[in-house]
A and B are shown apart, each in its own frame.
Chain A
Amino acid sequence: GESVGLHLPTLSVQEGDNSIINCAYSNSASDYFIWYKQESGKGPQFIIDIRSNMDKRQGQRVTVLLNKTVKHLSLQIAATQPGDSAVYFCAENYAGNNRKLIWGLGTSLAVNP
């Protein structure tokens, strides 16, 4: 399944399928990007990050892809599990932004057993 994360859409996938969560970032000067996972009632947790000198980075079951030409970021989750159900946020930063992050609106991922 795939979504665009400009509002707060819901992406619904079957357990075991791959998930793709998309994010359109705002600032062409941004050089650092982070994905967070937020479970209900909890604080966001760091998942994976990527710098602008890379276009792909892999973690455990997750891959982040960066396309600077169209200012697009995606998070791919392989073999999605029920425990992956959460809201996923992308965030960006750039030098000179006083170490603040610019946050996307989030995408809700629902995993069906």
Chain B
Amino acid sequence: DGGITQSPKYLFRKEGQNVTLSCEQNLNHDAMYWYRQDPGQGLRLIYYSQIVNDFQKGDIAEGYSVSREKKESFPLTVTSAQKNPTAFYLCASSSAGTSGRPDTQYFGPGTRLTVL
């Protein structure tokens, strides 16, 4: 999983509660991303951040919020406004370097969120 950690691995939430998913990377990557994956489906982008203190909405941002106060950290909050939050959440990061693979995203192990 290349230096990206997500916690917890499994998370249970009651309806109406907000919950925050952690994502930390030690790869010195500038950009970080949050994706949602439903069973048997592909990846859908929730939010992404190209630099500290800046982030943009992805394709399905409604009901989610993020912050990027530190380069290493990009926590995702699933709010009570998200109507169907049960899913597998993946965090990724990529570098801005001109060498290597600047656009390749490296993923964490994921957090499986279940709403009870």
Give A44 to B105 CA distance when docked, in angstroms. 9
Contacts of B96 on A, CB cut-off 8 Å? Answer: 99
Q: Which of B50, B56, B90, B102 contacts A43 (CB 8 A)?
A: B90
Q: A41-B110, A43-B90, A45-B107 are in contact. Are A99 and B50 (CB under 8 A)?
A: yes
Report which of A42, A45, A99, A103 forms a contact with B42, defined as CB distance below 8 A. Answer: A103
**Nearest opposing residue in chain A for B107, CB measure:** A43
Contacting pair A99 B108 (CB below 8 A): no
Which residues of B49-106 have CB atoms within 8 Å of chain A's CB atoms? 50, 56, 58, 90, 92, 94, 96, 101-106
What are the residues of chain A within 8 A of B107 when measuring CB–CB?
43-45
Q: Which residue of A lies closest to B96 (CB)?
A: A99
Interface size range of chain A in the complex: 20 to 34
Partner of A98, one of B40, B50, B104: B50
Q: Name 28 interchain pairs, CB-CB below 8 A, sorted by A.
A: A8-B41, A32-B103, A34-B103, A34-B104, A41-B112, A42-B1, A43-B1, A43-B4, A43-B90, A43-B110, A44-B43, A44-B107, A46-B104, A46-B106, A49-B101, A89-B43, A93-B103, A98-B50, A98-B56, A99-B31, A99-B102, A100-B33, A101-B103, A101-B105, A103-B43, A104-B42, A105-B41, A105-B42
Residues on B lying within 8 angstroms of A by beta carbon are: 1, 4, 31, 33, 40-43, 45, 48, 50, 56, 58, 90, 92, 94, 96, 101-110, 112
